[in-house]
């Protein structure tokens, strides 16, 4: 009897404590529950009244301590604060400014353990205005018709002058500049649509348009420029009268950009015949996009004021100024050749170039504020430029390769129907579905006023990496057709140049290993930043109060997440809630994502507790935790896309593939953290709590891959939605136009080919000479003359599509020299 009673008490105790933990119960509820449990245990164990009373007093006293703030602060929180200050790694000013920059948006929800899915789904998808839609269909399409990647990269080695002029005249360089300054005043979403479309046509034109609209003089002027600076420069930049570039990178400071050795020294000097207060600048920059043709150089350098002429510190810090490139002493170097890309890129330098202080962006009061300015403005450009161009490359790869896989046959079968090729096509489709979802959701967030610094790093890294994966898969599927360069090859240039996107705006290894989680764990975690701010607070009373509030909320959060991670792992996420608005076919994905959001918060707290400040240096661990956060973001965007597009059931194989792949990757990343966690005892605890039933998620199945791949190799609305926003030439003389026409023709001929196959099977036709089958079928009246004409056209288009370019022995150098009159050397 007593055994059963004890068992009941134990079960009720565990269930009670678990419920308190999951529900983040108040300190009072914990005290009362613990007192009740104690009473029950003591009466069962027949403990004497004196001991019982003493134990009860102890519990109530401990409860009182935790529920009475002044006592709690004095006895527990303040010593904890002192210990926290000791282990907190020192943070430089530039690190602090990077942490403080930008806003936290959906990434904060994903770290909360309880993402508010209804809130996400209620956000309207971004839309173009009528004016933007007209520009995209008008000017942007027209520009696409003017440019040709092969012509630019192999012949002109630049954007053709006519197209460059059109870019300037039609305001492509001023898309982010408001109309009051003569710019286009486009939304972030429109900006993304333009960059994406241009990327499907010419990387050089895309980069030339992308860079002035990203982080650089215009963006910095808009946020920090003085009235005079805005009124002078913005109209000139919008009209293409000034070509901007931005120089941050120095040969000795690439990823560690805050360490640039370029200097400015505050001094007096002669400027246009007058003695003025200014600065003497010395710098060396390299890799600067648009640098070789720029007229206005945005320059980042460290400003010193050794004579304290500005009345403050001697080392003022990183400063941004605008330098007209015609200024005496400014040297513009020659061109780099980044992987055969022909967008303008090169070095520049200056020695003792004197500039008045009003050339500092924002004027002298902004001296030393450059790093903060750059960090604050980074989110918008980084969220748009490279993610959008990567989507453009991926769309081109998916559309062209899907069609090619249907048109190209081997072993008398379209190659897209072989399981091996299907595997690659499924990856391409699933990756692109997710990439485009994230691109749109992020651009929409910027249009809502967010400056999502962590999310911008997530989309920069993951969309460029997936873009590279998609193009790599496409190259494998295309075989020799992908490798032989020339006008008929659509993917060789994107393949060649994708590593540029991997390297710029935060090289990808650094972005994954240091930035995403390094910033995410501090910015997106609900309590860590508050604790750090409290630790840095000089007012002791305020520090104690703020820290006390944050740390106990954090403890309750961590306890709750421990219980919830275990519960959801045990129950296959069934006790999490899916949003009321979600489609039934996607509800289980929301539940799993909520579970992994809890796991991310839980494992992060354990990692921070065990590793403290050294977590920052454990890049392999923090990269994997960043992968979990990133995958949660990409998966959220994918689910939202499905709802935003009106639940297109035909697209479900792509959605399922993308979601199952993401869940599998999250599981793999968490397993990687646990397997490599330095404390093995803690690793075992983590494994029991996060994966109490072991691995539950597998990679997308072969059957699902087959369904996803099939969508890419036939004309359909799904294929059009997947590649929406591309430039698709409407004539068959263009490589992509020919592939499109060949796919349509191949699909239209399927019933005709079926008739012929039936006739061969019934011995009405001989299969010995397949090249003559169509003629024989016509002669045997198996097909009509119209059918025969369709087949003939389909075959001609197929032959055009599988054709590759060939060149004279010298690759046409002498022919080209004859045309241009240039000398041929060597
Ligand atoms: C084509 C092109 C255009 C560019 N345009 C511009 C421009 O317009 N303006 C401008 O200012 N700059 C520009 N850049 C510079 C670009 O931003 C830098 O190339 C980039 O910051 C990386 O610097 P780096 O090439 O010197 O590589 P490095 O800094 O030498 O890095 C080498 C490798 O080490 C990794 N790494 C470095 N630190 C860490 C770390 N802590 N943890 C993990 N990995 C790390 C990096 O990820 C990278 O893989 C351009 C570069 C190129 C190639």
Contact (Cβ atoms closer than 8 angstroms) between residue 755 and residue 687: no
Looking at ligand 1, which residue's alpha carbon is closest to its atom 16?
504
Closest ligand 1 atom number to CA of residue 245:
8
Looking at ligand 1, which residue's alpha carbon is closest to its atom 36?
510
Q: What was the pLDDT predicted at 27?
A: 81
Q: What was the pLDDT predicted at 822?
A: 52
Q: Which residue among 510, 517, 620 is best mutated to probe the pocket of ligand 1, counting the most ligand atoms within 8 A of its Cβ?
A: 510
Looking at ligand 1, which residue's alpha carbon is closest to its atom 26?
254
Distances in Å between the alpha carbon of 792 and those of 71, 558, 731, 802? Answer: 90, 69, 18, 16
Q: Is 521 helix (H, G, I), strand (E, B) or coil?
A: helix
Distance 154 CA to ligand 1 centre (A): 26
Q: What was the pLDDT predicted at 820?
A: 59
Closest by CA position to 73, among listed 533, 546, 557 = 546
Closest ligand 1 atom number to CA of residue 514:
42
Give dist(CA 758, CA 447) in Å, integer. 57
Distance 437 CA to ligand 1 centre (A): 27
Give dist(CA 204, CA 63) in Å, integer. 67
Distances in Å between the alpha carbon of 329 and those of 154, 454, 751? Answer: 34, 39, 72
Beta-bridge mates of residue 271: 274
Give dist(CA 571, CA 231) in Å, integer. 62
Closest by CA position to 471, among listed 210, 733, 200 = 200
**In the 3-class helix/strand/coil scheme, how is 487-506 assigned residue by residue?**
CCCCCHHHHHHHHHHHHCCC
Q: Which residues neighbour 773 within 8 Å (Cβ) at sequence distance 6 or greater?
A: 756, 760, 765, 767
What's the token pair of residue 470? Answer: 């998609």
Q: Which residues neighbour 144 within 8 Å (Cβ) at sequence distance 6 or greater?
A: 197, 198, 200, 201, 202, 727
Q: Is 734 helix (H, G, I), strand (E, B) or coil?
A: coil
Looking at ligand 1, which residue's alpha carbon is closest to its atom 50?
287
**In the 3-class helix/strand/coil scheme, how is 754-796 assigned residue by residue?**
HHHHHHHHCCCCCCCCHHHHHHHHHHCCCCCHHHHHHHHHHHH
CB atoms within 10 A of CB 554: 18
What is the full DSSP assignment across 147-203?
Answer: --HHIIIIIISS--HHHHHHHHHTTGGGTTS-GGGTS----HHHHHHHHHHHHTT-H
Beta-bridge mates of residue 403: none
Sign of CA dihedral 239, 240, 242, 246: positive
Contact (Cβ atoms closer than 8 angstroms) between residue 399 and residue 478: no
Q: What was the pLDDT predicted at 819?
A: 62
- Write out residues with Cβ below 6 Å of ligand 1: 245-249, 254-255, 287-289, 338, 345, 500, 503-504, 507, 509-510, 513-514, 619
CB atoms within 10 A of CB 62: 14
Closest ligand 1 atom number to CA of residue 505:
17
Q: Which residue among 502, 507, 512, 617 is best mutated to probe the pocket of ligand 1, counting the most ligand atoms within 8 A of its Cβ?
A: 507
Looking at ligand 1, which residue's alpha carbon is closest to its atom 45?
510
Closest ligand 1 atom number to CA of residue 300:
11
Q: What is the dihedral of CA 789, 790, 795, 797, to 10 degrees?
A: 110
Q: Which residues neighbour 389 within 8 Å (Cβ) at sequence distance 6 or greater?
A: 195, 196, 198, 199, 203, 206, 207, 210, 467, 501
CB atoms within 10 A of CB 235: 17
Closest ligand 1 atom number to CA of residue 256:
29
Distance 510 CA to ligand 1 centre (A): 9
Closest ligand 1 atom number to CA of residue 247:
11
| Beta strands at 274-289 and 263-271: parallel, antiparallel or unpaired | antiparallel
Looking at ligand 1, which residue's alpha carbon is closest to its atom 24?
254
Backbone angles phi, psi at 572, to 5 degrees: 60, 35
Give dist(CA 787, CA 753) in Å, integer. 9
Q: What is the dihedral of CA 482, 486, 492, 498, to 10 degrees?
A: -170
Contact (Cβ atoms closer than 8 angstroms) between residue 154 and residue 162: no
What is the full DSSP assignment across 14-44?
Answer: HHHHHHHHHTT--HHHHHHHHHHHHHHHHHH
Distance 741 CA to ligand 1 centre (A): 42
Q: What is the value of pTM for the model shown? A: 0.95
Q: What was the pLDDT predicted at 824?
A: 43
Q: What was the pLDDT predicted at 826?
A: 38
453-478 vs 492-503: helix crossing angle, rounded to 10: 150
Distance 752 CA to ligand 1 centre (A): 55
Known catalytic residue: 768? no
Burial letters 586-624, b for 16+ CB under 10 A, else e: bebbbbbbbbbbbbbbbbbbbbbeebeeebbebbebbbb
Give dist(CA 519, CA 532) in Å, integer. 13
Distance 198 CA to ligand 1 centre (A): 24
What's the token pair of residue 153? Answer: 């990269």
Closest ligand 1 atom number to CA of residue 291:
8
Residue that the structure tokens 């929180």 belong to: 77
Q: Which residue among 208, 255, 289, 370 is best mutated to probe the pocket of ligand 1, counting the most ligand atoms within 8 A of its Cβ?
A: 255
| Residues found in the chain | 826
Give dist(CA 487, CA 476) in Å, integer. 19
Distance 345 CA to ligand 1 centre (A): 14
Distance 287 CA to ligand 1 centre (A): 9
Looking at ligand 1, which residue's alpha carbon is closest to its atom 39?
510
Closest ligand 1 atom number to CA of residue 506:
21
Give dist(CA 609, CA 557) in Å, integer. 14
Distances in Å between the alpha carbon of 185 and those of 131, 139, 189, 218? Answer: 11, 15, 12, 12
Give dist(CA 458, CA 341) in Å, integer. 25
Contact (Cβ atoms closer than 8 angstroms) between residue 718 and residue 651: yes
Distance 471 CA to ligand 1 centre (A): 22
Give dist(CA 764, CA 362) in Å, integer. 83
Which residue in the list 109, 139, 284, 505 is annotated as catalytic? 505
Regions in the chain scoring below 70 on pLDDT: 1, 816-826
Q: What was the pLDDT predicted at 823?
A: 47
Looking at ligand 1, which residue's alpha carbon is closest to its atom 31?
255
**In the 3-class helix/strand/coil scheme, how is 166-178 assigned residue by residue?**
HHHHCCHHHCCCC
Q: What was the pLDDT predicted at 303?
A: 98
Give dist(CA 544, CA 78) in Å, integer. 6
Closest ligand 1 atom number to CA of residue 343:
1
Backbone angles phi, psi at 505, to 5 degrees: 50, 45
Distance 246 CA to ligand 1 centre (A): 14
Distance 252 CA to ligand 1 centre (A): 11
Looking at ligand 1, which residue's alpha carbon is closest to its atom 35?
510
| Beta strands at 296-304 and 263-271: parallel, antiparallel or unpaired | parallel
CA angle 287, 292, 296 (to 5 degrees): 100
Looking at ligand 1, which residue's alpha carbon is closest to its atom 4?
287
């Amino acid at each position: 009897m007593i055994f059963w009673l004890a068992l009941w008490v134990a079960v009720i105790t565990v269930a009670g404590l678990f419920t308190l933990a999951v529900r983040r119960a108040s300190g009072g509820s914990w005290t009362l529950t613990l007192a009740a449990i104690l009473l029950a245990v003591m009466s069962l164990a027949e403990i004497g009244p004196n001991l019982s009373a003493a134990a009860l007093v102890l519990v109530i006293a401990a409860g009182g301590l935790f529920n009475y703030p002044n006592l709690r602060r004095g006895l527990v929180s303040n010593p904890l604060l002192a210990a926290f200050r000791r282990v907190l790694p020192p943070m430089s000013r530039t690190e602090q400014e990077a942490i403080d920059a930008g806003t936290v948006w959906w990434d904060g929800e994903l770290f909360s353990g309880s993402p508010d899915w209804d809130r996400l789904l209620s956000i309207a998808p971004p839309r173009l205005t009528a004016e933007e839609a007209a520009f995209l269909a008008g000017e942007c399409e027209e520009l696409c018709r003017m440019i040709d990647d092969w012509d630019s990269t192999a012949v002109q080695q630049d954007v053709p002058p006519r197209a460059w002029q059109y870019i300037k005249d039609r305001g492509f360089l001023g898309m982010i500049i408001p109309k009051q300054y003569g710019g286009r005043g486009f939304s972030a979403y429109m900006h993304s649509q333009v960059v994406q479309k241009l990327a499907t046509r010419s990387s050089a034109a895309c980069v030339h348009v992308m860079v002035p609209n990203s982080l650089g003089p215009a963006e910095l002027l808009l946020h920090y420029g003085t009235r005079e600076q805005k009124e002078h420069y913005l109209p000139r930049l919008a009209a293409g009268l000034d070509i901007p570039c931005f120089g941050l990178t120095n040969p000795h400071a690439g990823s560690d950009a805050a360490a640039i050795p370029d200097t400015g020294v505050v001094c007096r000097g002669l400027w246009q015949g007058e003695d003025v207060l200014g600065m003497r600048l010395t710098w060396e920059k390299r890799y600067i996009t648009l640098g070789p043709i720029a007229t206005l150089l945005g320059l980042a350098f460290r400003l010193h004021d050794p004579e304290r002429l500005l009345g403050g510190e001697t080392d003022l810090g990183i400063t941004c100024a605008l330098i007209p490139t015609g200024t005496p002493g400014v040297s513009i170097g020659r061109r780099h050749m980044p992987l055969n890309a022909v967008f303008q890129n090169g070095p520049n330098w200056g020695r003792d170039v004197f500039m008045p202080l009003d050339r500092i962006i924002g004027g002298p009061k902004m001296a030393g504020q450059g790093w903060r300015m750059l960090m604050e403005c980074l989110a918008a450009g980084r969220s748009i430029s490279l993610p959008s161009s990567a989507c453009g490359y991926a769309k081109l790869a998916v559309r062209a390769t899907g069609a090619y896989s249907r048109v190209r046959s081997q072993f008398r079968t379209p190659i897209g129907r072989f399981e091996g090729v299907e595997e690659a096509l499924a990856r391409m489709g699933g990756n692109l579905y997710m990439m485009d979802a994230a691109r749109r959701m992020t651009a929409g967030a910027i249009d809502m006023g967010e400056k999502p610094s962590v999310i911008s790093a997530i989309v920069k890294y993951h969309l460029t990496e997936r873009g590279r994966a998609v193009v790599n898969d496409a190259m494998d599927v295309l075989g020799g057709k992908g490798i032989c360069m020339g006008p008929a090859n659509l993917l060789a240039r994107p393949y060649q140049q994708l590593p540029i996107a991997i390297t710029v705006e935060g090289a990808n290894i650094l972005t994954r290993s240091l930035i995403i989680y390094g910033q995410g764990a501090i910015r997106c975690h609900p309590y860590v930043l508050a604790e750090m701010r409290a630790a840095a607070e000089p007012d002791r009373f305020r520090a104690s109060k703020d820290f006390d509030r944050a740390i106990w909320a954090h403890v309750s959060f961590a306890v709750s997440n421990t219980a919830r991670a275990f519960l959801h792992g045990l129950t296959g996420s069934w006790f999490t809630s899916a949003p009321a608005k979600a489609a039934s076919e996607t509800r289980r994905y929301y539940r799993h994502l909520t579970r992994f959001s809890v796991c991310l918060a839980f494992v992060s707290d354990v990692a921070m507790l065990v590793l403290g400040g050294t977590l920052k240096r454990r890049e392999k661990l923090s990269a994997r935790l960043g992968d979990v956060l990133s995958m949660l973001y990409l998966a959220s965007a994918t689910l939202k896309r499905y709802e935003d597009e009106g639940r297109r059931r035909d697209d479900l194989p792509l959605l399922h593939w993308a979601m199952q792949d993401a869940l599998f990757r999250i599981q793999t990343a968490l397993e990687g953290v646990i397997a490599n966690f330095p404390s093995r005892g803690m690793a075992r605890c983590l494994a029991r709590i996060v994966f109490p039933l072991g691995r539950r998620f597998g990679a997308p199945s072969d059957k699902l891959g087959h369904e996803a791949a099939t969508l890419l190799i036939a004309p359909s609305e799904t294929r059009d939605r997947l590649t929406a926003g591309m430039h698709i030439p409407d004539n068959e003389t263009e490589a992509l136009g020919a592939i499109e026409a060949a796919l349509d023709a191949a699909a239209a001929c399927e019933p005709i080919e079926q008739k012929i196959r039936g006739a061969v099977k019934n011995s009405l036709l001989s299969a010995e000479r397949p090249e003559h089958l169509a003629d024989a079928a016509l002669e045997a009246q198996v097909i009509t003359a119209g059918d025969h004409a369709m087949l003939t056209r389909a075959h001609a288009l197929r032959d055009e599509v599988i054709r590759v370019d060939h060149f004279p022995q010298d690759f046409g150098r002498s022919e080209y020299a004859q045309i241009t009159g240039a000398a041929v050397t060597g």
